[in-house]
Amino acid sequence: MAEIYTDFLEKTREIHRLGATLALMSWDQETYLPPRGVPARSTQRATLASIVHERTVAAGLGALIEELQADTLDDTAAANLREMKRIRDRAIKIPRELVAELAAAGSLAQQAWLTAKAHNDWVQFEPHLTRLVALKRRVADAVGYEDEPYDALLDEYEPGARLRELLPLFTELRSRLVQLCTRIAAASDKPQRAVLCQPLTPLRQEALARRLLQDIGFDFSAGRLDLSEHPFTEGMSPADVRITTRYDSEDLSVSLFAVLHEGGHALYEMGLPIADEATPAAQAVSLGIHESQSRLWECCVGRSRPFMEYLARLLHELAPEQFSAAEPQQLYRAANAVVPTPVRINADEVTYNLHIILRLEIERALLSNDIEVADIPALWREKSEQNLGMRPQSDTEGALQDIHWAFGCFGYFPTYTLGNLYAAQFFAAARGALPDLDRQLASGEFGPLRQWLRRQVHEKGSLLPAAELCREVTGAALGIEPYLAYLDTKFTEIYRL
Amino acid sequence: MAEIYTDFLEKTREIHRLGATLALMSWDQETYLPPRGVPARSTQRATLASIVHERTVAAGLGALIEELQADTLDDTAAANLREMKRIRDRAIKIPRELVAELAAAGSLAQQAWLTAKAHNDWVQFEPHLTRLVALKRRVADAVGYEDEPYDALLDEYEPGARLRELLPLFTELRSRLVQLCTRIAAASDKPQRAVLCQPLTPLRQEALARRLLQDIGFDFSAGRLDLSEHPFTEGMSPADVRITTRYDSEDLSVSLFAVLHEGGHALYEMGLPIADEATPAAQAVSLGIHESQSRLWECCVGRSRPFMEYLARLLHELAPEQFSAAEPQQLYRAANAVVPTPVRINADEVTYNLHIILRLEIERALLSNDIEVADIPALWREKSEQNLGMRPQSDTEGALQDIHWAFGCFGYFPTYTLGNLYAAQFFAAARGALPDLDRQLASGEFGPLRQWLRRQVHEKGSLLPAAELCREVTGAALGIEPYLAYLDTKFTEIYRL
């Protein structure tokens, strides 16, 4: 049996290494690829992706999985088998023609989306989205589901997540967040963002970003920081993790929180078990858990009161002309101003999840044939009004704002909210385990928190499914109360509610 | 038959696209890969390389080649068939175990070479080189040859080249170059390099490099310039060609000529037929021809008298503090100082090929069992004395100076000299076709020369084998007289011989 497992592991490693190569190609495309190189790159990526598919569905791998299933395996082997089987089963169920149709339709949709967004012209995008939704319904039917098609798509990003469990959480979350927003809107003492919006060159911001990353434990001998239009993280191995940011010369918070966010993703990737590198069990377990790590560092740490003591010192040291007068409390209030905006990526912690819930509801209705693509812009405006108390001025700021759907990503958005919920629950557990946490954050000692996360989450890779991991780390199933308690305490104090 | 050809082309394109991905991985490894990422990257590269091998030797491709050989094909199809067959035949002949042994031995040899070179300790490197030579002899036996084993290795880099044709050229070349060196050594009026050796920051040198590249026609929307320890060029497609350079703050000539050299390689890659991108016929035909393009721009253009008129203006504009007094004639003499050195990469145009001939003779003797690896250091010193009139002070500056052998590259060095010979012959032809060439170079109009090279060489890709390409472009077989005439005219004038 040991030999069968060795063979199985070699095949999964090959698939994973080709996947890491695809990740490198993505990273390069967003950072350094010359513009005219895009078409050839697309064919190079498609070629490699098709080999990954070929290897994943290969009968030889299937036979090994079959044999191993009859065997008693240790935890790691069992996780490797579970994960590879899950990925393979899904790949087998979706016909290759459908994958190719999706890739082609997505490529056209992305171009159409760019123009449509630039010209506030929903009608240009509509037929492409209609086609993508139809294809994604076919994917859902091919993959199969118990309750409704949306679950089959959600499962790609958050294995094991089901609407019947998520919807009650999200519904309650929405109503409680809307209440909090209403209280905040009525508050008289509103924080100002001005202290963060001072002219600071990208070069100075980069120096600050590198210092921040170093301090939270980002290992520059195993990672990089580069520039891109939209910040992202790619991990080719735990020893090659690359993040990007962008700089706004008039608003430090853009790069500050992007770097903490991507830095959180990177710490997860760097903390995955390197000895088992390139095996399924040594990968991040879900997008929701991944997002919990980025949001924990960005929000629970980076927007916390103790962190501002550290940040103020850093700013005094690295940008004295602009920030010598900046006080921790002032920075804290500026970093936590609640300003409803139609645009998700500009949203504060309180309103962010209302944007996500809006998308989830629309996606779900689309997949279940309850609405047509043509209904989206009006529905978007209506739901914005309900959730955020405001309507987008245009579709550019409304239904066209995010690129996700143009990539065929339906079921992806909820992982953002799951990330926030997991983050709050993990952070509460960390606080329990590290009684000195606030003092540590204030003095820039991020090691204890990072090490706790590494032991509790990172090193476990995919050994446990996300839901079980949450129970093991926090002693409870995923819920909304830790997150709501976190927000309530924080914003009650800031807004003197 | 058309369908068979389409199938064949699709398979060759797949192989080529995976090859382009390997090229991206190489580029990344030399530029941006974090140091700790190297081990995982090695396994990722090995995984992809092994798939390239698998696809190349696949029986399905063999059957298509077999069928197409019976058919009448147009020139492009015939070249595609010829090139793919050549690559495939070689891949089939070399057993996979031997490829794996070579990769493993090369990996160890490269590490040993680094230490051995750093500590001037030949003995550390010797067993690794012995092993590599033994493996390369097995490669030569597996590939087969008519005259001697070396031909089988040379053919990998310069398809069709044979020692029986090269040796008479190289032997005569050495004797004529040694004569020229002797005359130069006796000259009383020796150029000084000082004008090029003024402090200039890497940032200023980079601005200069970018302007130079733009002026010679390097398309920055289809290419990049980055930093690396050793300058190189990688072409992922004609629309994604990346070069690197390094900067010496005390010697502008390092980056100046590196950028012209790699820029010449890049113009070739950018000029390959993009419509047939990713097919065998649309690739560079040989390393010798590739090197002709780099040396033509570096030496025939970049170290020419007319070019110095343009360069002086550029320096006056971009680095006035250092270069406002620099005269074209002074730059010309400085850029062409003949200073024998034990180190190949520091060599001037006159002595450069003497370094290559030394390596060729040693490699050939090794492969034919005429000498042992242990004989190399002494032989190197002796041949240095004969060729260059000097002995290296150490093995670090002698037999350990180049990394090529540690990579298992035997038969590679001669392509450098072939490049010089082809360059001179092409440049003479260009001069015949462009009567106004000197004035154009002096005024920085590089378009006519670049367009001539594109039509004559670049666009032809691998349609013709290198030797035939040379005859078609220059009306004559490759010879040494154009090169010797070029050197003789130039250095007779500079040194007033």
Give chain B as a 3 state SS string.
CHHHHHHHHHHHHHHHHHHHHHHHHHHHHHHCCCHHHHHHHHHHHHHHHHHHHHHHHCHHHHHHHHHHHCCCCCHHHHHHHHHHHHHHHHHHHCCHHHHHHHHHHHHHHHHHHHHHHHCCCHHHHHHHHHHHHHHHHHHHHHHCCCCCHHHHHHHHHCCCCCHHHHHHHHHHHHHHHHHHHHHHHHCCCCCCCHHHCCCCCHHHHHHHHHHHHHHHCCCCCCEEEEECCCCCEEEEECCEEEEEECCCCCCHHHHHHHHHHHHHHHHHHHHCCHHHCCCHHHCCCCHHHHHHHHHHHHHHHCCCHHHHHHHHHHHHHHCHHHHCCCCHHHHHHHHCCCCCCCCHHHCCCCCHHHHHHHHHHHHHHHHCCCCCHHHHHHHHHHHHHHHHCCCCCCCCCCCCCCCHHHHCCCCCCHHHHHHHHHHHHHHHHHHHHCCCHHHHHHCCCCHHHHHHHHHHCHHHCCCCCHHHHHHHHHCCCCCCHHHHHHHHHHHHHHCCC
Q: How many CB pairs under 8 A join A and B?
A: 115
Beta-carbon separation of A278 and B236 below 8 A: no
- Nearest Cα residue in chain A from B242: A34
CA distance to partner chain A, nearest, from residue B277 (Å): 8
**Phi, psi for A236 (deg, rounded to 5):** -90, -25
pLDDT in tens, A428-464: 999 999 999 999 999 999 999 999 999 999 999 999 9
Give CA–CA dist B475/B469, Å, rounded.
Answer: 9
Q: Which of A35, A240, A242 sits opposite B40 (nearest CB)?
A: A240
3-state secondary structure of A224: strand
Which residue among B83, B126, B262, B309 is the active-site one?
B262
Residues of B in contact with A240 (CB under 8 A): 33-34, 36-37, 40-41
Contacts with B24 from chain A: Cβ below 8 Å: 24-25, 28, 44
Residue B160's region, left for phi above 0, alpha for psi from -120 to 50, else beta, is left
Residues B343/B384, Cβ–Cβ less than 8 Å: no
Collect all residues with Cβ–Cβ distance below 8 Å to A104 and sequence separation of at least 6. none
- Its ipTM equals 0.95
Q: Do B17 and A240 touch (CB under 8 A)?
A: no
Contact B222, B235 (CB under 8 A): no
> In chain B, which residues touch A (CB < 8 A)?
13-14, 17-18, 20-21, 24-25, 28, 32-37, 39-41, 43-44, 47-48, 51, 219-224, 226, 236-237, 239-240, 242, 277-278
**Is A240 in contact with B33 (Cβ distance < 8 A)?**
yes
What angle is formed at CA A25 by the lines to CA A21 and CA A27, rounded to 5 degrees? 110
Q: What is the DSSP letter of A144?
A: -
Catalytic residue at B372? no
**Strands B233-237 vs A223-227: parallel, antiparallel or unpaired:** unpaired
Cβ pair A37:B278 closer than 8 A: no
pTM: 0.96
How close, in Å, is residue B226 to chain A by CA atoms? 10
Distance to chain A for B291, nearest Cα, Å: 24
pLDDT band at A368 (very low <50, low <70, confident <90, very high): very high
Q: What is the pLDDT along chain B (497 residues), one digit of tens a residue?
A: 689 999 999 999 999 999 999 999 999 999 999 999 999 999 999 999 999 999 999 999 999 999 999 888 999 999 999 999 999 999 999 998 999 899 889 989 999 999 999 999 999 999 999 999 999 999 999 999 999 999 999 999 999 999 999 999 999 999 999 999 999 999 998 999 999 999 999 999 999 999 999 999 999 999 999 999 899 999 999 999 999 999 999 999 999 999 999 999 999 999 999 889 999 999 999 999 999 999 999 999 999 999 999 999 999 999 999 999 999 999 999 999 999 999 999 999 999 999 999 999 999 999 999 999 999 999 999 999 999 999 999 999 999 999 999 999 999 999 999 999 999 999 999 999 999 999 999 999 999 999 999 999 999 999 999 999 999 999 999 999 999 999 999 999 999 99
The answer to whether residues B277 and A39 touch, using CB atoms and an 8 Å cutoff, is no
Integer CA distances (angstroms), A464 to A458, A460, B300, in order: 11, 7, 65
Q: Which residues in chain A touch residue B13, judged by CB atoms under 8 angstroms apart?
A: 43, 47
| Longest CA span, chain A | 70
What is the nearest CA distance from B201 to chain A, expressed in angstroms?
18
| Bridge partner residues of A243 (DSSP) | A225, A233
Q: Give the 3-state secondary structure of residue A233.
A: strand
Is there a contact between B239 and A39 if contact means CB atoms under 8 Å apart?
yes
Integer angstrom CA distances of residue A359 from A102, A268, A349, A391: 21, 27, 17, 15
Using a CB-CB distance cutoff of 8 angstroms, which residues of chain A are in contact with residue B37?
222, 236-237, 239-240
Residue of chain B nearest A48, judged by CA positions: B18
